[in-house]
Amino acid sequence: MEKLLLSPPIAFVTYFVFIVLFSMLLSRCAFRPGRRENGDGGTKAYACGEDTYNQSAQPDYSYFFHFAFFFTMAHVAAMMITMVPAVALRTLQVALLYVTGIIAGFAIVLRK
**Averaged pLDDT for residues 99-105:** 84
pLDDT tens, position by position, 65-101: 878 888 888 888 888 778 877 677 777 787 788 888 8
Tell me how far apart the alpha carbons of residues 12 and 80 are, in angstroms, rounded to a whole number. Answer: 22
Q: At what angle do helices 89-111 and 62-83 cross, to 10 degrees?
A: 160
pLDDT tens, position by position, 41-70: 555 565 555 555 666 655 677 778 878 888
